[in-house]
Amino acid sequence: MPLATFHDRFSTLCVETLKSSGLSAWGFVPREAFLAACAPLPPAVREKFGVDMARGVVAAALAYGEGPREPPAWAAAYGGPLLGLARFARADWYAELAARLRTSAASLRSRMRAEGLDPGPARAWRYLANSGLPEKELALRAGLGHLGRNGLVLVGGGKARGGPGAAVVLGLLLLPYALVGEATYPAGQRPEPAAFKPGGLCGSCRACVEACPTGALGEGGAFIRELCIQHWTARAGALPPAVERAWGARLYGCEACLAACPHFHPDPHAQTDRGRLGPGLPADFFLEAEDEEIRARLRGSALGLGWMEIEAFRRSARLATALIDSSS
């Protein structure tokens, strides 16, 4: 089969497979754009994720929902105030997205074999979510949405335009063959330059800026990471005074800017059984349980990632408990 014909057929099979993947949005990223976005990464990171092996790249988004309504059964053994979890962390939506990408890759490889096409080595197929690659930038380059003033990708332009807006997790499917044709961008349209500018879809709306309790969303699209509560929720150490004052009863994540955004629409039909934790966990669990038990209980959840620090969760428990005590 001529090489051009092979790539055309591969692209067609990829599109057909992704249409039945259960993903909320997806689009192709040209390899040149992918390599440019990954150029600043350290060589070790590029090697870890197979950047230079990739010939075709799919950026994907999965809408998440409200998550479980109750904490897990084991949490009933502990008391204290309930420490809140952001909706994206109430279940492991990143694992769900990676699983759907993995299933899509397996299906695509199977369809290729059925047509006598070589799918290439398995190690050249990568399915990533919450990885060290610039998933946000690649989602924009794939035309999945616009960059909101809150710094998040608004997929599909929000509910008014048929999309979940910022209520998504992002991931990538790296492939060993190039993707060609109109499928390079949804409906053959390249993303407009405005998609890469903070607030390009937001107009004069400043709801997220005004809702941020610490002023982390500065003027002109500036983001002050040191003032972002989300940034600190899994990092141990002393908190900036403004962050500590606004902490409240949070455990992981901050949704202040999301909750205020008119383009934030969690999917009421979204489902996953992976890493279900519910709306929050009791403070006493983090104050009384040993590190080993905490790791075991959180394993397989959005709070079970290796870079998260247990001491950060303990600090959240102490802050919430002190807040309750001071107000009683």
DSSP string, 61-116: EEE-----SS--GGGGG--SPEEEE-GGGTTTHHHHHHHHHHHHHHHHHHHHHHTT
Host H or E run for residue 168: strand 168-175
Which tokens go with 272? 């996953």
Backbone φ and ψ for 6, nearest 5 degrees, come out as -60, -50
Per-residue pLDDT, 132: 92
Residue 158 has pLDDT above 50, yes or no: no
Residue 182 has pLDDT above 90, yes or no: no
Per-residue pLDDT, 181: 59
pLDDT band at 305, cuts 50/70/90?
Answer: confident
Least confident of 100-114, 183-197, 251-265, 291-305: 183-197
Least confident of 21-35, 157-171, 217-231, 298-312: 157-171
Helix residue ranges per DSSP H, 201-290: 207-211, 229-232, 241-245, 256-260, 283-288
Per-residue pLDDT, 157: 56
pTM above 0.75?
A: yes
Burial class (CB in 10 A: 0-12, 13-18, 19+), 274: middle
Share of the chain above pLDDT 90, in %: 72
Residue 144 has pLDDT above 90, yes or no: no
CA distance 66 to 208: 20
Going from the C-alpha of 71 to that of each of 67, 77, 78, 298, the distances in angstroms are 10, 11, 11, 12
Burial class (CB in 10 A: 0-12, 13-18, 19+), 100: buried
| Residue-wise pLDDT tens digits, 86-142 | 999 999 999 999 999 999 999 999 999 999 999 999 999 999 999 999 999 999 888
Mean pLDDT score, 200-225: 86
**Residues 106/109/111/115 CA torsion (nearest 10 deg):** -160
| Residue-wise pLDDT tens digits, 53-85 | 999 999 999 999 999 999 999 999 999 899 999
Which tokens go with 225? 């990471």
Per-residue pLDDT, 298: 97
pLDDT band at 328, cuts 50/70/90?
Answer: low
In Å, how far from its chain's centre is CA 45? 18
Higher pLDDT, 219 or 183: 219
- CB-side exposure of 7: number of CA atoms within 13 Å? 14
CA distance 94 to 73: 23
Mean pLDDT score, 201-214: 90
